[in-house]
Amino acid sequence: MLNIDRQRVILDQLYQKGSVKVSELSKELGVHEETIRRDLKALAAKWDIKTVYGGAVLKNTINSPAVQEINMLSKRNSHYEEKQIIARKAATLIQPGQTIGLNSGSSVEYILDYLEDKRPLNIVTLNIHIAAKALLLEGVDVYIPGGKLRTQSGSVMGSDAANFIRSFTLDQCFCGTSAVNLSKGICHPNIEEVEGNRAMIAASRKKYIVSDSSKMNQTAPFKMFDIDCVDGFIVDNNFPPEYREYMELHGIEVI
């Protein structure tokens, strides 16, 4: 196993467990304990990690309270300039004729403002606000499941909605999120929307998270999926350096 692969395994265990032991890693990875100590020293030089007798621990864990969901109007006005930049970047990845998945969120909704030269398109969405806006675009066919709408977000909930999404083969999906952190993954404050988001990721050939940097180092009660389930993050220029390093280590594109 190459150094970088071994260190990726160690780093993942640190973020999952909060600590690791040299002896256990040595047996698991089939290398001498001194090799593990060198790996931990190398990781500690770049990451928020403290080497201790017999292993290493994360220096800091996320202690902030879980994010609270806000309504769509408030989302649209928050970090507006960053979201416009992110939406423009996302739109450059879209090609005419594709079938695109869009979940919920203001950054995702703003992508619709930059599709002038991308049509025709098929847009599959879980969100009524996004569907209504996409309907105004010439050359765009819109698909949305039926079912109960969540008042807070305008998203369709439930297993029927998730099964509807699974019936598509999406070229790309662009998913907004409420919280991302290296220990818990990509999270959501409401369990009713988790299944639909998972279905959209599973149905897509290329998967992107679109998120301004305020969502990093946050947590929410319900995990949607692991960070390494996606192909890329489309972000603003305030993206934390440790997240950029993590993405590089795991082969995840940062745009």
Overall CATH class of domain 3-58 = mainly alpha
Arithmetic mean of pLDDT, 12-25: 86
What pLDDT does 13 receive? 86
Digit-coded pLDDT (tens) for 225-245: 999 999 999 999 999 988 998
117, burial (CB in 10 Å: exposed 0-12, middle 13-18, buried 19+):
exposed
Res. 77: pLDDT tops 80: no
Tokens read off for 23: 């002896």
Rg (CA), the chain: 20
What pLDDT does 7 receive? 86
Phi/psi-derived region of residue 74, left when phi > 0, alpha when psi is between -120 and 50, beta in every other case:
alpha
Closest by CA to 203, choosing from 177, 174, 180, is 174
β pairing state of 185-188 and 204-210: unpaired
Contact partners, residue 178, CB within 8 Å, separation at least 6:
67, 69, 187, 188, 189, 215, 218, 220
Closest by CA to 127, choosing from 70, 36, 74, 193, is 193
Res. 11: pLDDT tops 80: yes
Confidence label for 152 from pLDDT (cuts 50, 70 and 90): confident
Confidence label for 68 from pLDDT (cuts 50, 70 and 90): low
- What residue ranges of the chain are covered by domains with CATH 3.40.50.1360? 72-254
Arithmetic mean of pLDDT, 3-24: 86
Give this prediction's pTM.
0.81
Identify the CATH assignment for 72-254 out of 3.40.50.1360, 3.90.1300.10, 3.40.640.10, 1.10.1200.10.
Answer: 3.40.50.1360
Span of 76-85, 214-223, 231-240 with lowest mean pLDDT? 76-85
Four-point Cα dihedral 211, 212, 216, 218, nearest 10: -90
Closest by CA to 233, choosing from 220, 221, 246, 223, is 246
Res. 61: pLDDT tops 80: no
- What residue ranges of the chain are covered by domains with CATH 1.10.10.10? 3-58
Contact partners, residue 153, CB within 8 Å, separation at least 6:
69, 71, 72, 104, 127, 190, 193
What is the rounded distance in angstroms from the CA atom of residue 145 to the CA atom of residue 104? 13
Arithmetic mean of pLDDT, 33-61: 84
Arithmetic mean of pLDDT, 120-133: 96
